[in-house]
Amino acid sequence: MTTDFTKTRAMFDLPPGVIYLDGNSLGPLPRAAALRVAQTVTAEWGQMLIGGWNKAGWMDQPSRVGDRIARLIGAEPGHVVMGDTLSIKVYQALASSLQMNPRRVILSDTGNFPSDLYMAQGLCQTLGDRDLVTVAPEALLEAIDETVAVVLVTEVDYRTGRRHDMAALSARAHDKGALIIWDLAHSAGAFRVDVAKGGADFAVGCSYKYLNSGPGGPAFIYVAPRHAETAPPALSGWLGHEAPFAFDRDYRPGRGIERMRVGTPPVLQLAALEAALDIWDAVDLDDLRARSLDLTDRFIAGVEAACPMLTLVTPRDPQARGSQVSFAHPEGYAIMQALIAAGVVGDFRAPDILRFGFTPLYTTFDEVDAAVAILARIMTTGAWDQPQFKTRAKVT
């Protein structure tokens, strides 16, 4: 397949005058999602009322949509389900893993996203007999030993864009008798992922970044087929029960991935996601990756040539990075605010990182060149050095 990226760009409703390099944080609005949600609200919720659960297929939506995510992450069909937020799914995968493996340690790295680490800390406090151990990302492989019950690893570092080697870490974990959970928050929709070949026991990720489901869109969870009928769901809500509408007093896990469901699915968000996923039907993931690397290489070369005061913190090696580029500067926050005011939307991550997401579905080479030129102007004129760019907002 040869992907037509002009066509995929036209499927998004992008505001004029904005170069959007933040689709790794919140994907933009697919035109079809706006229509689908409106239709779900008026024709399904409005007209069918509670009948929508059966007539409009709302109850099967979490696994139906999960199957479409499965293609993007290399999962076997029938082993991905949608629901809750990513933080909750991290907790569920961790709690399930700790029930499957009685060892003491949850191992993660210091580059992991704080919410993943916070959820692990909370779970350890609840359980009392488990500990979270974190090591530097480069030391993770070696740190997997016989004390480790489960390795919790986010494939792409949210700050630097550095990418872990899934197959190597999974192989080492299994060699040492540990389970491994892959967080694909910055992978799913950014490049081809292969959780089956990569040896993941569990994988989790969110849908509102590269997959464009909109703010608050649900997360996904994958359980490897070898664990599907034995992994305990840990969060034993009624919709993961074998027969939710039997209203039994005692919990019995549902079949396979269905047991990882917890409560009522977010039907409107899933409608938006279903429409957003239609775009991916016309996308070859190898084309996506090739374009992502072309876009990021061009941005790196342009910024390094024009802005020597910015320090690249993303690996140059294409194999070792995701689809974002980050530069460090002590005044990173103010620089990013000045950029946003000039129509280039990236984001800032404490303490000093300017982060730019490259999303081949809609980012163009002309936009990369224009973003480089605007950044260069802001840096050389010192336009960022003004009080209005230095007040921190709640979301950075």
Ligand X SMILES: *Cc1c(COP(=O)(O)O)cnc(C)c1O
Binding site for ligand X (CB under 6 A): 85-87, 113, 115-116, 154, 158, 183, 185-186, 206, 219
For the question of residue 355 being annotated catalytic, the response is yes
Q: Return phi, psi of residue 121, to 5°.
A: -60, -45
**Of 46, 47, 45, 77, which is closest to residue 58 (Cα–Cα)?**
45
22, 109, 183, 201: which is the annotated catalytic residue?
183
5, 113, 356, 389: which is the annotated catalytic residue?
113
208, 299, 327, 348: which is the annotated catalytic residue?
208
**Of 368, 337, 345, 370, which is closest to residue 28 (Cα–Cα)?**
345
36, 355, 356, 362: which is the annotated catalytic residue?
355
d(C-alpha 103, C-alpha 110), whole Å? 21
| Residue with smaller CB distance to ligand X, 48 or 268 | 268
The vertex-33 CA angle with 93 and 10, nearest 5°, equals 115
Residue 385, both tokens: 């050095």
**According to DSSP H, which parts of the chain are helical?**
5-10, 31-39, 47-48, 52-55, 61-73, 86-100, 114-127, 140-143, 166-175, 267-278, 285-306, 332-341, 365-381
| Residue with smaller CB distance to ligand X, 5 or 348 | 348
For the question of residue 113 being annotated catalytic, the response is yes
Q: Are 178 and 202 in contact (CB under 8 A)?
A: no
| Residue with smaller CB distance to ligand X, 156 or 368 | 156
d(C-alpha 133, C-alpha 148), whole Å? 9
68, 130, 159, 209: which is the annotated catalytic residue?
209
For the question of residue 369 being annotated catalytic, the response is no
| Residue with smaller CB distance to ligand X, 112 or 363 | 112
Q: Are 125 and 94 in contact (CB under 8 A)?
A: no
d(C-alpha 41, C-alpha 338), whole Å? 39
For the question of residue 298 being annotated catalytic, the response is no
Tokens 């760019």 — which residue?
Answer: 389
Nearest-10 crossing angle of helices 365-381, 285-306: 20
The catalytic residues are 113, 183, 208-209, 355
